[in-house]
Amino acid sequence: MDRHQKVSPATVFYVYAREDEPLRDELSKHMSNLVRQGLIKEWYDQQILAGTDKTSTIDKHFQDASVILLLVSPDFLASDYCYSVEMQRALERHHAGNACVIPLILRPVDWRGIPLADLQYLPRDAKPVTTWTNRDAAFLDIVDGIRNIIENMNTLAVQTPSVPLPSVWNIPYPRNLFFTGREDLFVSLVSSLQVDQIAALTQVQAISGLRGVGKTQIAVEYAYRYHSFYQAVFWAQAETYESLVSSFVTIAQLLNLPGKNARDQALVVKAVIEWMQTHTAWLLILDNSDDLGMAKAFIPPVFGGHPPDNTGTSYGPTGTPY
């Protein structure tokens, strides 16, 4: 991004329990440099003016926010409003790709198992702010993470795609302009899937166990970021054998294969696999593929594309699950 190109400041919305106001105030002080530099503008409910309708004001600022900070603590999780209302609404905006939601772990709390698996936690390693020896260092770590996210968002905001999407394309999600993935992972994927295609044919790579960024989001971002490498991009739901068959029937329709309407769906699946064996420059993403043994029945033994990974995310044109 041209450093002289102006972008609007990102509106940051705080979701927090009343008991955590002192920590929110400390964080706000550390965010002041981002405010002065025009990168962000903050909003939280204490800014509501007297005589203003509280509910409608909060709703408006919530919907306008491009960054939503969830200040996670025991009181946050214990609050029905924070957990069941505001957090759920934030997750809806996150999954719709129109807001970046960041959980900040303020105090030690059992947060595992809450529905935030696709999100990037701060501070690093999800270490609670109050457990740091130097609390200023903890808040600085948060601010650095938010700065990186905002700068990435601004870069994406001014980018214009120069290459249209492939004509054969069934990714079911829009590109998430608030995606904050790991660049090292994308470098590794591109290196494996594009550079050394012969080696990639014999390798199996998995994006599993990554905390703080969802595997599905990584696959979606890869497809959008590197779509120019492919002439066809396929998405298949791989939770069950039945969902894979259904997805391959859809792919057959996309490709307009001669056997696309066969009553025997096994023949339709076979037709898709044969197409993959005889074509190059395709990407196949298997989402939620936890059973690699089952998935292998849908991967051509010889292909010119990239197939999927054994953890439930993706594959593609060199034949490497990733």
- Output the pLDDT for position 140: 97
pLDDT of residue 317: 37
* pLDDT at position 310: 37
Radius of gyration of the chain (CA): 22
Model confidence pLDDT, tens digit, residues 176-231: 766 665 666 766 766 666 544 444 443 344 555 444 446 777 788 888 888 888 88
**∠ CA 184-103-151 to the nearest 5 degrees?**
50
Q: Which residues of 169-195 are buried (b: 16+ CB within 10 A; e: fewer)?
A: bebebebbbbbbbeeebeeebeebbee
What is the reported pTM?
A: 0.58
| Domains of the chain listed by start with CATH number | 10-157 (3.40.50.10140), 168-306 (no CATH)
How far apart CA 55 and CA 13 sit, in angstroms, is: 15
Which DSSP symbol is given to 315? B
DSSP secondary structure code for residue 122 in this structure: B
pLDDT of residue 307: 56
pLDDT reported for residue 153: 73
What 3-state class would DSSP assign to 182? coil
**What single-letter DSSP state applies at residue 311?**
T
Low-confidence residues of the chain: pLDDT under 50 = 1-5, 160, 195-205, 209-213, 308-322
**Model pLDDT, residue 226:** 84
E-only strand ranges, the chain: 10-15, 40-43, 67-72, 100-105, 168-169, 232-237, 280-287, 304-306
Please report the pLDDT score of residue 245 as a whole number.
93
**What pLDDT, on a 0 to 100 scale, did the predictor assign at position 107?**
97
